[in-house]
């Protein structure tokens, strides 16, 4: 019996901060989650902040030149083994800049896992999460079951930007990252063995 040796290189994980709003709370949530991911030895983290990415709002046709900000992000997304999306909820959905960012790319998402971290008011951004599951399914990406959600988020962090319930929040982040890592390893090995086809 022959066994395939699994890849042992750290998982290249891209975290996308989706809100571009002035005064956004997303930076606080993203900073904390990046610290959680940074404690792991099985992952490396690349942070993409859509507020500075400069992606155009208008998509182009297939024959048109690709804008430079899109070309700049393409290799970073293509190299990723996994993604984490940090998103608020706007009007029962996720921010328009995130949808634009998702739509600029196709192959880069395919057959890769996506973890979802949300924040907001009473719903904690979970309605944005459920809509993102539909969008990523259409792109042949796999959203992991576990999420991290902050309800009434501004009341859940102290003045230093740390979760007040540190133990509970850290445990939730670990569950998400453990699940993300499992899928990332499985799908990376699968893509290496047999390219994903439609």
Element (H, E) at 189: helix 166-193
Confidence (pLDDT) at 5: 45
Helix runs in 17-123, H state only: 26-38, 50-53, 68-78, 96-103
Confidence (pLDDT) at 150: 97
Confidence (pLDDT) at 3: 40
pTM score: 0.93
pLDDT 10s digit of each residue in the chain, 198 long?
444 445 679 999 999 999 999 999 999 999 999 999 999 999 999 999 999 999 999 998 888 899 999 999 999 999 999 999 999 999 999 999 999 999 999 999 999 999 999 999 999 999 999 999 999 999 999 999 999 999 999 999 999 999 999 999 999 999 999 999 999 999 999 999 998 875
Confidence (pLDDT) at 11: 98
The answer to whether 66 touches 60, Cβ cutoff 8 Å, is yes
d(CA 148, CA 35): 14
Element (H, E) at 87: strand 82-88
∠162-132-16 over CA atoms, to 5°?
45
Query: Could you tell me the CA-to-CA distances from 69 to 53, 56, 101, 157, 191 in Å, in that order?
Result: 7, 8, 11, 33, 27
CATH of domain 70-190: 3.40.50.360
């Amino acid at each position: 019996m022959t066994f395939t040796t699994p890849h042992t290189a750290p998982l290249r994980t891209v975290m996308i901060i989706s809100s571009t709003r002035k005064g956004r709370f997303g930076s606080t949530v993203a900073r904390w989650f990046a610290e959680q991911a940074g404690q792991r030895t099985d992952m490396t983290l690349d942070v993409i902040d859509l507020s500075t990415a400069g992606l155009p709002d208008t998509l182009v046709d297939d024959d048109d030149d690709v804008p430079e900000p899109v070309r700049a992000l393409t290799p970073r997304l293509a190299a990723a083994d996994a993604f984490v999306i940090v998103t608020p909820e706007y009007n029962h959905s996720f921010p328009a800049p995130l949808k634009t960012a998702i739509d600029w790319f196709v192959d880069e998402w395919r057959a890769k896992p996506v973890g979802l971290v949300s924040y907001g008011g009473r719903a904690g951004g979970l309605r944005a999460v459920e809509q993102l599951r539909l969008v990523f399914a259409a792109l042949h990406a796999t959203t992991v079951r576990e999420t991290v959600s902050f309800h009434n988020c501004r009341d859940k962090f102290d003045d230093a930007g740390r979760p007040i319930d540190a133990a509970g929040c850290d445990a939730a982040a670990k569950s998400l990252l453990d699940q993300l890592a499992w899928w990332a390893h499985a799908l990376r090995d699968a893509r290496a063995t047999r390219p994903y086809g439609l």
